[in-house]
């Protein structure tokens, strides 16, 4: 049966993914094999596939497919995250479109809408990952609000509470006025923004004097509780014990003294607004100042502001500035740049806000999570992220774990009508607790807040195997700890650290052994890809255009661990071209007719060389995988297949036009072709499975490459590889001479070699064939009038006779000599520099010496060639 002229990725992808699913190749159950486990970083249910997901999940799929082929029990658990803030925002927006305000419905009604939304949209991204070829155990798909996972979250909250790690209190938190919820420090993104710095006059009571305060937030002056000066500041000593009037509202506030104020910064006077700044809050606590919160949860001004009530904070800022100007209380206004916090989810500017919240004490819990990484139990790949991880873990703050939302795991705390509270799993348990303490059970109600999403996803490697509720179950005992986690550096603290913390607290074990941190996908201008910038291609469209294998190769060719990927669609084109190269190579082999003649010595030699080269490449690729250099592993595979197999080996054994190939040689080619397909499968699953099942290989139906044995490291003959490298040099140099002289490839040329290095006799037929040599001779002296070159350390001569323009050749050789002499001068400078020779590594110095020797040898040969031309 003939094979199609061109590879049709779409057809192969649909066929083989369905087949793999039907045959259960992705499924995993505990058995006697070594487990290899990955848990997918659960994408938000609000998400659709973007380039970051593409990179992350392609890497995971490569690792899981290779492990499966290595005979391990490969288990890749997929799932999605309920993403409280993002999902609630989507549902609120959907309700608004229907004319429904969240405030007008009950929590139960809202959750009904939210679950409907999740069922409709929540699985989109997982279906898109199937298109990518993700070989997940889809039967194990989890959602962070599945009943069993939610129960694990509630159990964990109760455990941490009983262990003394959870407390409730009023603290300054990061408040998202758009999401109307508290955020942890890690959910706040700092950005530099252009602002105005307002210099405002505060009048000293019963005086014509005033002090000047500089602020970027004039809308908060109505919440001021004091003006603070440094007690050592001579400028303001006379103001001690006096009061000032807050502009516009004339409320009297004291002037206090504290060394916290920097005399050199600004005017040396600080307005203290305890309700709206963390440092001001701490200063207010120290001096027992009044706390006046003038902002509503949505960022608008409340009644305590006295003016502009109901105005949005940013609209109020502009209006306050105008009012102050009109009142003559603005000294000046300057342009100013400063760092402002924004919500990671809604991109709203964060407000520091005093709020009653639930917190998890982190100092004790964080210590083992740091030790695991310090002692190498958990490896961060690349290691450059250790420093920031260590800094964060050593300076960790208590984690605000409550969120003012309805979508999520509701905190298991219960209040009575006196606002007393207990932590309990159910209302009946709460009633029993209240009664045991002799407290009222009247008006009992559950806490409205839900838990931070990262609290639930922190349990992910355990909860997907039901290890929190049932740690003795066979799945958890077999698959945990997991092997590799592939994720983005920006959630190293959000998620990775918290999984380590929770995993250790429950099991005294780390949840995984290696953390592979991918880079950020950027465009060729270095900008992070995003829909808002319009610089991010649609991954689905890319796969339609270039084939999934082509896109996978394109992504991985340029994505070393931890380094940002400067993505360009040309990489996908390169990936598609690679797929076509393999396809065309297969078509070539399949088209050969066979004869019963025995294989020639040249054919056997070619196979021997490629076997050795293949085994060398496998060792190199194996080392790259061991060090998580997946980009390098792919490049080594790419070069082996494109260069060594297609461009050299197949050309060496290819029969002359309309001449059959020896059956023995074809069988060898088929065997080697299958080996390179196995090596390529984790990167290019669809193309390799398609070719694997071609009738040329005569396979049983269930004999699939997805479960074939991955090539293992075998011994190889370095001498054979080095010798053939020199043979390749000879062939390439002859071809270069043809190209540079404009001689047709059909014109056979004579070649003479002064062989001092290797025995060329066994390579003679290969050289004659690939370099189109009319006669190959071996000489002991120079051939006059011939173009010469070095192959290894052997001098080679091509007599061109009438095929050469002597004057042009003289000019070319002269330029090459001139270039080499310049190169030699630069090398000599290095070697004559004593500091370089003493301080450089010995191998670097030796390399420079080798460069010098090579250049001198080439110059000598070129000068002799020049002399021979007269």
Bind-site residues for ATP: 531
Interior/surface letters 70-98, b for 16+ CB within 10 angstroms, e for the rest: bebbbbbbbbbbbbbbbbbbbbbebbeee
680 and 688 Cβ atoms separated by less than 8 Å: yes
Tell me the angle at which helices 51-69 and 124-131 cross, rounded to the nearest 10 degrees: 60
E strand spans, 814-870: none
705 and 678 Cβ atoms separated by less than 8 Å: yes
Judge if the upstream peptide bond of residue 481 is cis by omega within 30 degrees of 0: yes
**In 73-173, which residue ranges form alpha helices assigned H by DSSP?**
84-97, 107-121, 124-131, 147-162
For the record, the structure tokens of 521 come out as 């996908």
The number of beta carbons lying within 10 Å of the beta carbon of residue 336 is 13
527 and 517 Cβ atoms separated by less than 8 Å: no
| CA–CA dist 583, 164 (Å, integer) | 63
| CA–CA dist 595, 192 (Å, integer) | 74
Q: What is the 3-state secondary structure (H, E, C) of 830-841?
A: HHCCHHHHHHCC
245 and 205 Cβ atoms separated by less than 8 Å: yes
| CA–CA dist 200, 210 (Å, integer) | 10
The annotated binding site is made up of 531
DSSP state of 43: P
| CA–CA dist 740, 303 (Å, integer) | 86
Nearest by Cα to 60 from 555, 608, 451: 555
Judge if the upstream peptide bond of residue 382 is cis by omega within 30 degrees of 0: yes
Pairing of strands 330-343, 181-183: unpaired
Greatest pairwise CA separation for the chain in angstroms: 116
| CA–CA dist 355, 795 (Å, integer) | 83
For the record, the structure tokens of 456 come out as 């639930």
């Amino acid at each position: 049966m003939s094979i199609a002229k061109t590879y049709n990725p779409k057809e192969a992808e649909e066929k083989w993914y369905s087949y793999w699913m039907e045959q259960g190749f992705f499924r995993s159950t505990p058995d006697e094999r070594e487990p290899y486990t990955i848990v997918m970083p659960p994408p938000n249910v609000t998400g659709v596939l973007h380039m970051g997901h593409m990179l992350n999940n392609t890497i995971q799929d490569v690792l899981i497919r290779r492990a499966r082929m290595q005979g391990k029990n490969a288990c890749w658990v997929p799932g999605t995250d309920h993403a409280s803030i993002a999902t609630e925002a989507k549902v609120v927006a959907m309700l608004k479109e229907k004319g429904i305000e969240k405030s007008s419905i009950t929590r139960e009604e809202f959750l009904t809408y939210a679950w409907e939304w999740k069922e409709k949209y929540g699985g989109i991204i997982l279906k898109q990952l199937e298109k990518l070829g993700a070989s997940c155990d889809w039967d194990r798909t989890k959602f962070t609000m599945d009943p069993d996972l939610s129960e694990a979250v509630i159990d964990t909250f109760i455990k941490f509470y009983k262990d003394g790690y959870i407390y409730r209190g009023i603290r300054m938190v990061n408040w998202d006025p758009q999401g109307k919820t508290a955020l942890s420090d890690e959910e706040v993104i700092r950005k530099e923004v252009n602002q105005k710095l307002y210099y405002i006059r505060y009048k000293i009571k019963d005086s014509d004097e005033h002090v000047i305060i500089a602020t970027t937030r004039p809308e908060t002056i109505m919440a001021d509780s004091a003006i603070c000066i440094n007690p050592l500041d001579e400028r303001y000593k006379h103001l001690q014990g006096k009061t000032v009037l807050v502009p516009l509202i004339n409320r009297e506030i004291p002037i206090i003294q504290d060394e916290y104020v920097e005399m050199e910064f600004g005017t040396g006077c600080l307005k203290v607004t305890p309700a709206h700044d963390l440092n001001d809050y701490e200063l207010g606590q120290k001096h027992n100042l009044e706390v006046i919160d003038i902002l509503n949860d949505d960022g608008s001004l409340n009644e305590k502001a006295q003016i502009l009530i109901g105005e949005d904070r940013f609209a109020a800022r502009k209006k306050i500035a105008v009012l102050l100007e009109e009142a003559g209380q603005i000294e000046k206004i300057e342009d100013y740049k400063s760092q402002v916090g924004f919500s990671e989810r809604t991109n709203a500017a964060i407000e520091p806000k005093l709020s009653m919240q639930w917190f998890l004490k982190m100092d004790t819990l964080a210590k083992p999570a740091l030790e695991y990484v310090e002692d190498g139990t958990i490896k961060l790949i690349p290691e450059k992220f250790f420093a920031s991880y260590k800094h964060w873990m050593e300076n960790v703050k208590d984690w605000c774990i409550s969120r003012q939302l309805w979508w999520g795991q509701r905190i298991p705390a219960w209040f009575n009508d006196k606002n007393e509270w207990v932590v309990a799993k159910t209302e009946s348990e709460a009633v029993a607790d209240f009664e045991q303490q002799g407290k009222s059970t009247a008006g009992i109600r559950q806490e409205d807040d839900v838990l931070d999403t990262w609290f639930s996803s922190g349990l992910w490697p355990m909860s997907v195997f039901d290890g929190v509720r049932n740690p003795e179950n066979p799945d958890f005992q077999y698959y945990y700890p997991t092997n590799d986690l592939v994720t983005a550096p920006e959630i190293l603290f959000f998620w990775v650290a918290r999984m380590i913390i929770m995993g250790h607290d429950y099991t005294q074990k780390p949840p995984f052994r290696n953390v592979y941190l991918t880079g950020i996908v950027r465009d060729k201008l270095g900008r992070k890809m995003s829909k808002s910038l319009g610089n991010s291609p649609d991954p689905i469209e890319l796969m339609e255009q270039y084939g999934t294998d082509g896109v996978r190769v394109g992504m991985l060719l340029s994505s070393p661990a931890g380094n940002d990927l400067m993505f360009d669609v040309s990489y996908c084109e390169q990936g598609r071209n690679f797929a076509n190269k393999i396809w065309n190579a297969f078509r070539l082999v399949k088209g050969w007719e066979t004869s019963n003649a025995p294989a020639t010595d040249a054919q056997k030699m070619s196979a021997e060389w490629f076997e050795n080269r293949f085994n060398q490449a496998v060792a190199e690729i194996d080392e790259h995988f061991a060090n998580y250099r997946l980009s390098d592993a792919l490049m080594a595979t790419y070069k082996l297949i494109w260069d060594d197999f297609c461009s050299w080996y197949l050309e060496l054994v290819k029969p002359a036009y309309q001449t059959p190939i020896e059956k023995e040689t074809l069988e060898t080619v088929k065997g080697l072709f299958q080996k390179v397909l196995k090596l390529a499968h984790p990167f290019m699953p669809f193309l390799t499975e398609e070719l694997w099942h071609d009738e040329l290989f005569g396979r049983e139906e269930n004999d699939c490459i997805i479960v074939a044995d991955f090539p293992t490291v075998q011994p190889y003959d370095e001498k054979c590889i080095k010798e053939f490298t020199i043979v390749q040099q000879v062939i390439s140099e002859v071809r270069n001479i043809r190209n540079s002289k404009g001689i047709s490839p059909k014109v056979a040329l004579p070649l003479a070699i002064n062989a001092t290095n290797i025995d060329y006799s066994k390579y003679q037929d290969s050289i004659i064939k690939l370099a189109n040599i009319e006669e190959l001779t071996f000489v002991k002296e120079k051939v006059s009038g011939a173009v010469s070159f070095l192959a290894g350390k052997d001098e080679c001569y091509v007599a061109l006779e009438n095929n050469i323009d002597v004057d042009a050749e003289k000019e070319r050789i002269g330029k090459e000599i001139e270039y080499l002499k310049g190169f030699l001068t630069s090398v000599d400078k290095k070697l004559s520099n004593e500091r370089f020779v003493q301080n450089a590594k010995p191998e670097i110095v030796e390399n420079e010496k080798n460069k010098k020797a090579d250049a001198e040898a080439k110059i000598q040969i070129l000068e002799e060639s020049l002399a021979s031309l007269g």
